[in-house]
Amino acid sequence: MTELIYMTDSYKQELMARVVSCVQKGNWWEIVLDKTIFYPQGGGQPSDKGTIKGKHGTATVKHVRMQDDEVVHECSIEGTIEIGKFVECTIDWNTRYQNMRVHSAGHVVHEAVRLVAPYLDPIKGEHGKTAYIQYQGSLPIDKKTRIEQQANDLINQNLHLKTEFVTLDELKARASYIPEHLPKHKPLRILSIGEYPPIPDGGTQVKTTNEIGEITIPSIDNTVDQVRVYYTVASETENKDATADQSIAAPQFIGLLLDAEREAKELVAESDKSAEELRIMLLGPKSELGRLTKQIRQVPAADRANVGVVVNQVKQSIEQAICNNPFTHSPIHPSSDSWIDVTLPGNRPPEGHLHIVSQAIMEITRIFERIGFTRVRHPEVDWDWYAFESLNMPPESPARDEWETFFIQYPGKPKERHSGGRRPIESRGDPIAPPNAGLQDDRKTGQMVLTPHTSNGQVREMEKGKLPIRMINIAKCYRRQSDVSHVPMLHQFEGLYIDKNVSIGDLKGVIDYFFKQYYGPERKSRLRPFHFQFTEPSFEVDINCGVCLGRGCKFCKEGWVELAGAGMVHPTVIKNGGLDPQVYNGFAFGWGIERVAMMKSGTQLDDIRLLYSNDVRFLEQF
């Protein structure tokens, strides 16, 4: 039984522990210690990452799980980790602290929901990259603002989060909610926020609510009889920056203005207040728009005029919404004695242009064409085999967790699929299997995915049987994530070069060539050793941040932004593509188009989601 140190001290970042067992499983290792500070995935909180260092080796902990009453650390190991010896454990504190803040925020949101809708019964919570609390029952979506306000009220009261261990009877007597399956072997722990009734909890928690910072409720999602209240917290740096007097980039400021406009219009539509009251509330100095107007000084001087135009447009559009609302009786009516000046020049119809992502796709395609890479297309809905298994990630591989994948259960086996009748909807995006990938092949049946990366094109391209391969596969990818630097639908471009005697030097050469062509000679890049199942060795490619030019801002990590991965194609993958790894080798890289485009200097965008907000006033700038 592992002693769970994180239960009593969630701020402990380092620990000496003794190795109880260390077993190889496939191509990773599983370590059990006598005690641990690593949080195993559970209760909606993602697991910790970090390192376990012994005298003769270091284990990199990638995932941690609870198995019976033991904490199993899933790792890769350099050197050896000896059983019975002491090791030094260190957790990746940034990840843990963010997880803790998100988890604690979940409890605050739950208290806020209980204040607004005490009739809802909690079912579960998810406190990872996507965070929500799920309840039995339903909740009108217009409660969103109330819940957000209540949650931030609790945050601003700077309440203490206290954990204590209790007996089952005590827990039943005190807790506001008793989950159905209480863990049998774990100590029963309860968490209370300020004076609110305690809740059973096994996660790691911050000490005071001000460590969480502002909470946002982006949506409330009702299904038949359940409802999810989604929430987000600012990243820790954003939280710290919130009070600092910072400069704001124009696109970000415009994004805030558009948010204010949308919220104001929603309020007008739901409100039965008079026009005058609405005007004070939504356009007055204390309104969100009023507050933003004051902050316009923080926008770089060169952009202020443009931003000013948007401020006026937003004001007019809110004013219009107030006038048009049938419930508000506006004293303002267009004057009836208006006249038309027929000598005025006409209005030019607006001209459109390609979306920034389409522009980037064209430019990237052209850059690679010049060194002999051809753009190809591969399915965006594909078999698990191409997206994972053929890439050295069998179904049980923990490495798959990195790609937050949408799986599709394919109805029926392929043979039945073509036996007449209407084809199921999912099969309309059916990847057309290449000629040599016979549908009888069992590996290409079973689950399908919305491809989470373009690497599914690697084996598919090899199966075409034409060598050497110099492809650039550009496609949409899907992952279950949304925050300042992630969107659920993104674009990637995947380079693959397969020939005889390809070297890492060739890979570095191609990457350098691309950066020079796309960003200009002054931007810096670096290759960081990394791990992917389908490349060996693997790298992550970073570029110095285009928002702060390397100084450090809320978008980047200390001045560097990760553009995704690269490496030498793993022999197993080459074999799965039907080629002989003794004869052929090569490299691959896969990068996100949105990120690559955002990092271009001049594109000072620090929230990737703005790209898909579909507001012309934003898009016109690029």
Of the listed pieces 5-13, 360-368, 511-519, 562-570, which binds ligand PHE according to CB under 6 A? 562-570
CB of 534 to ligand PHE, least distance (A): 6
Q: Which is nearer to ligand PHE, 230 or 383 (CB)?
A: 383
Residue 450 within binding range of ligand PHE, rule CB under 6 A: no
Sheet holding 560-569, edge to edge: 374-376, 469-478, 489-499, 585-592, 560-569, 535-544, 525-532
CA 289 → CA 150, 236, 244, 306, 318, distances in Å? 21, 26, 20, 16, 10
Taking the complex as a whole, the smallest distance from the CB of residue 395 to ligand PHE amounts, in Å, to 18
Q: Which of 72, 193, 588, 599 binds ligand PHE (CB under 6 A)?
A: 588
Structure tokens at 298: 């923080």
Under rule CB under 6 A, residue 469 binds ligand PHE: no
* CA–CA distance, 81 with 75 (Å, rounded to integer): 11
**Is 133 among the residues that bind ligand PHE (CB under 6 A)?**
no
Contact 458, 496 (CB under 8 A): yes
CA atoms within 13 A on the CB side of 483: 16
Applying CB under 6 A, the span of 27-35, 209-217, 544-552, 587-595 interacting with ligand PHE comes to 587-595
Q: Residues near 496 by Cβ (< 8 Å), separated by ≥ 6?
A: 457, 458, 461, 469, 470, 471, 473, 569, 586, 587, 588
Which residue from 8, 228, 267 is spatially nearest to 132, judged by alpha carbons?
A: 228
Task: Report which residue type is found at 248.
Answer: I
Q: Which of 567, 574, 586, 600 forms a contact with ligand PHE (CB under 6 A)?
A: 567
Give 4: exposed, middle or buried? Use CB within 10 Å, 0-12, 13-18, 19+: buried
Q: Cβ distance 184 to 66 under 8 Å? A: no
CB of 535 to ligand PHE, least distance (A): 5
Asked whether position 574 contacts ligand PHE by CB under 6 A, the answer is no
If the CB atoms of residues 532 and 618 are measured against ligand PHE, the closer one turns out to be 532
Determine contact, residues 6/37, Cβ cutoff 8 Å. yes
Note whether 577 binds ligand PHE by CB under 6 A: no
Q: With binding defined as CB under 6 A, does residue 541 bind ligand PHE?
A: no
**Interaction of residue 589 with ligand PHE, rule CB under 6 A:** yes
Q: Does 400 bind ligand PHE (CB under 6 A)?
A: no
Q: Does 590 bind ligand PHE (CB under 6 A)?
A: yes
Minimum CB distance to ligand PHE smaller for 248 or for 566 = 566
Q: Which amino acid is at 127?
A: H
Strand ranges in 197-301 using DSSP code E only, listed in sequence order: 199-200, 215-216, 220-222, 226-230, 232-233
Least distance from ligand PHE to the Cβ atom of residue 565, Å: 3
Which of residues 28, 386, 514, 532 is near ligand PHE by CB under 6 A? 532
Nearer to ligand PHE, 73 or 570 (CB): 570
Closer of 202 and 565 to ligand PHE (Cβ): 565
**Which residue, 555, 560, 527, is CA-closest to 543?**
560
Q: Which is nearer to ligand PHE, 325 or 455 (CB)?
A: 455
Residues 475-504 contacting ligand PHE, CB under 6 A: 494
Q: Which is nearer to ligand PHE, 431 or 565 (CB)?
A: 565
Instruction: By CB under 6 A, tell whether 50 contacts ligand PHE.
Output: no
- Closest to ligand PHE by CB, 494 or 606: 494
Q: Tell me the three state secondary structure of residue 198.
A: coil
Q: Among 46, 73, 44, 75, which residue's Cα sits nearest to residue 58?
A: 75
The span from the CA of 617 to the CA of 613, in Å, is 10
State yes or no: residue 535 binds ligand PHE (CB under 6 A): yes
Shortest separation between residue 469's beta carbon and ligand PHE, angstroms: 13
The residues that touch ligand PHE, with contacts defined as CB under 6 A, are 453, 455, 494, 532, 535, 538, 564-567, 588-590
